[in-house]
């Protein structure tokens, strides 16, 4: 079965890819994604200067999900700007994830990365794991100002990666900002910030940064991710492509994201835990499920969720 999809005019050979942050920091990791069956190569969210990130241990997998406080370890935007043209040789879209520690950083990075011609740019408004730095995505005024500035310097399709929202009013207000800015796609959601996992045997937290607080991922956040995908799909009446992220560990999880309105999905926790072979498994599972359900392609079931 053909599992390809189109987002903002760009064809993806499969409707699943890595999430920014999962096995995508170094040249070696990015090239391995290129050789894998991932539908795209998504870079780590990049900052102006290279970053080592937060002290270790900073990732912990547990039954039901994961917690991390990575702190944006990355090579710095100059390295990714040089790498992006080389990654095109793999014949799949390159999605550059742009971050920053202040508003001006985003502009500096976006200009240089846009010049390196990735297929899409994902502006990360939602990293929850930088000590002392709030998520921009929860400040709609700052988000709109930043997106308007970035929009002026980006000529390739531009999307935004948003934090989880928990109130319909926030979905509505954020959608209005996105409409005014002219965004081409959405990535929903980043990890659910500031969770805490406790090891009762050792009577300790499980990661070192921020006193053990970190972003939650994996199956336990899937209902939150699905809710945000569905809410924004309804806000835009299906007009804006959505990449769903959160809780995808099986073909059935992908199908749920598609039903809620996602065009494609990104995987994080399961990619870290299982490795690049996960894309082979997910494609097989999704193809079998779509065939069983009588759908000819992923696009055929987008937004088809029934309400009672």
- The three-class DSSP label of residue 165 is coil
Strand partners, 196: 213
- Tokens 């500096």 label which residue? 108
User: Which pLDDT band, with edges at 50, 70 and 90, does 132 fall under?
Assistant: confident
Q: Which domains does the chain have, with CATH numbers?
A: 5-55+73-194+220-301 (3.20.20.70)
Looking at residue 127, its pLDDT comes to 81
Tokens of 62: 């547990």
Q: 265: part of which helix (H) or strand (E)?
A: strand 264-267
Q: Is the dihedral of CA 266, 144, 10, 165 positive or negative?
A: positive
Is residue 11 very low, low, confident or very high in pLDDT (cuts 50, 70, 90)? Answer: very high
- 168-181 and 222-235 helices, crossing angle to 10°: 50
24 in active site: no
Q: Are strands 213-217 and 192-196 parallel, antiparallel or unpaired?
A: antiparallel
Query: Tokens 């081409």 sit at which residue?
Result: 184
Instruction: Using alpha carbons, list the distances in angstroms from residue 256 to 37, 137, 154, 263, 304.
Output: 21, 25, 32, 11, 10
Q: Is the pLDDT of residue 129 over 90?
A: no
Tens digits of residue pLDDT in 28-72: 999 999 999 999 999 999 999 999 999 999 999 999 999 999 999
pLDDT for 245-286, tens place per residue? 999 999 999 999 999 999 999 999 999 999 999 999 999 999
> Tokens for 22?
């999962």
Catalytic residue among 15, 24, 127, 260: 127
Q: In 14-121, which residue ranges form alpha helices assigned H by DSSP?
A: 27-35, 77-87, 103-115
> Percent of the chain beyond pLDDT 70?
100
User: Is 170 a residue whose pLDDT tops 80?
Assistant: yes
Q: Contact at 8 Å (CB) between 25 and 44? A: yes
Confidence of residue 131 (pLDDT cuts 50, 70, 90): confident
User: CB count, 10 Å around CB of 12?
Assistant: 24
């Amino acid at each position: 079965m053909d599992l390809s999809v189109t987002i903002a005019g760009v064809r993806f050979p499969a409707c699943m890819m890595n999430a920014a942050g999962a096995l995508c920091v170094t040249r070696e990791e990015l090239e391995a994604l290129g050789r894998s069956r991932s539908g795209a190569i998504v870079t780590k969210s990049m900052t102006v200067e290279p970053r080592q990130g937060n002290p270790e241990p900073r990732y912990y997998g547990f039954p039901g999900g994961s917690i991390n406080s990575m702190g944006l370890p990355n090579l710095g935007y100059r390295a990714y700007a040089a790498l992006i043209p080389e990654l095109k040789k793999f014949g799949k879209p390159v999605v550059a994830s742009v971050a920053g520690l202040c508003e001006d950083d985003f502009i500096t990075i976006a200009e240089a990365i846009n010049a390196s011609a990735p297929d899409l740019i994902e502006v990360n408004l939602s990293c929850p794991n930088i000590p002392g730095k709030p998520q921009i995505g929860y400040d709609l005024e700052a988000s709109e100002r930043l997106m308007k500035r970035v929009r002026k310097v980006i000529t390739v399709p531009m999307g935004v990666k948003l934090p989880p929202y928990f109130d319909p009013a926030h979905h509505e207000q954020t959608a209005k900002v996105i409409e005014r800015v002219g965004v081409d796609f959405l990535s929903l959601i980043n990890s659910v910030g500031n969770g805490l996992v406790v090891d009762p045997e050792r009577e300790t937290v499980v990661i070192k940064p921020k006193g053990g607080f970190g972003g939650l991922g994996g199956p336990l956040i899937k209902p939150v991710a699905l809710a945000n995908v569905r809410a924004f799909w309804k806000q835009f009446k299906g007009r804006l492509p959505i990449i769903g992220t959160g809780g995808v560990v099986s073909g059935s999880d992908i199908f749920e994201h598609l039903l809620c309105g996602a065009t494609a999905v990104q995987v994080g926790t399961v990619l870290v835990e299982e490795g690049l072979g996960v894309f082979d498994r997910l494609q097989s599972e999704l193809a079998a499920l779509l065939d069983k359900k009588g759908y000819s392609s992923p696009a055929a079931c987008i937004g088809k969720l029934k309400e009672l």
